[in-house]
C-alpha cells in the first residue's frame, strides 16, 4: 500500500504521511507565496482606490466649503481625508506584514538553501533603505493627501465658524483624527 493511502484503524487517511513529504511542503509554500502575493496586489488596488477617493471627496468638499464660507462644511474635508489616510496607512502596514512574512518565511529559507537565489522581497528588505528611497515620491504625498485638507480647512473653518455650535464638535473630531493619524504613521513606520 502506498504511503499516501495508508489507512488508520477507522479507515481515514494518515495525514502525517502526506504532510511529511517534501513535495507537499513545497506545494504548501508555493500556494502560500501565491496567496500572499495576490493579497498584496489586492491591498495595493484598494489603497489606490482609497487615495483617489480621498483626493476627490476632500477636494470637492473643501471647494464647496470655501465657496460657501461654511465652517462646518470645511471641516468635513479633513474628516474624510484623515479617515481614509488612516485606512491607507493600515493597508500599507498589512502589505508590509505580508511582504515581511514572504521575506522571512519563504525567501530566506530558499536563500540559505540555494546560493545565488535573490527573491524580490529579500533584495528590498531594509526598511531604512525603503524609507529613504520612497520618502519623497511616495510617503510624503500620501501624508499630504491625508493631512493637507486639515491644514487648509481648520484655519478657514475657525475664521468662518458660523454656527459655532456646529463647528466646534467637528473641529474637535478633526483634531482627534489628526492625532490618531500621526500616531498610526509613527507606530507603523517600519511596515510602511
What values do phi and psi take at 99, rounded to 5?
A: -65, -40
Choose among 98, 106, 97, 116: nearest CA to 25: 106
Residues linked to residue 7 through DSSP beta bridges, in sequence order: 13
pLDDT at residue number 157: 95
Q: Where are the alpha helices (DSSP H) in the chain?
A: 15-19, 22-68, 71-74, 76-101, 108-113, 120-123, 127-134, 140-159, 164-187
Helix, strand, or coil (residue 13): strand
pLDDT at residue number 115: 79
pLDDT at residue number 6: 47
Q: How many CB atoms lie within 10 A of CB 31?
A: 10
Helix, strand, or coil (residue 7): strand
Q: Please list the pLDDT of the chain residue by residue as tens digits (192 residues).
A: 444 444 445 555 677 777 778 888 889 889 999 999 999 999 999 999 999 999 999 999 999 999 999 999 999 999 999 999 999 999 999 998 998 899 888 888 888 887 777 777 666 666 666 667 777 888 899 999 999 999 999 999 999 988 889 999 999 999 999 999 999 999 988 777
Amino acid at each position: 500500500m502506498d504511503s499516501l493511502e495508508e489507512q488508520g484503524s477507522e479507515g481515514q487517511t494518515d495525514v502525517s504521511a502526506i504532510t511529511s513529504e517534501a513535495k507537499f511542503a513545497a506545494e504548501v509554500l508555493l500556494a502560500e507565496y501565491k496567496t500572499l502575493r495576490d493579497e498584496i496586489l489586492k491591498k495595493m488596488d484598494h489603497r489606490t482606490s482609497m487615495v483617489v477617493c480621498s483626493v476627490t471627496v476632500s477636494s470637492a468638499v473643501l471647494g464647496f466649503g470655501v465657496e460657501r464660507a461654511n465652517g462646518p462644511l470645511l471641516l468635513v474635508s479633513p474628516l474624510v481625508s484623515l479617515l481614509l489616510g488612516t485606512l491607507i496607512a493600515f493597508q500599507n502596514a498589512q502589505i508590509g506584514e505580508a511582504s515581511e512574512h514572504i521575506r522571512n518565511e519563504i525567501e530566506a529559507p530558499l536563500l540559505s538553501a540555494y546560493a545565488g537565489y535573490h527573491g524580490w522581497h529579500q533584495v528590498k528588505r531594509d526598511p531604512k533603505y525603503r524609507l529613504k528611497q520612497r520618502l519623497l515620491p511616495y510617503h510624503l504625498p500620501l501624508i499630504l493627501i491625508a493631512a493637507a485638507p486639515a491644514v487648509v480647512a481648520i484655519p478657514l473653518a475657525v475664521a468662518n465658524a458660523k454656527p459655532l455650535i456646529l463647528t466646534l464638535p467637528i473641529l474637535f473630531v478633526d483634531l482627534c483624527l489628526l492625532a490618531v493619524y500621526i500616531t498610526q504613521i509613527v507606530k507603523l513606520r517600519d511596515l510602511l
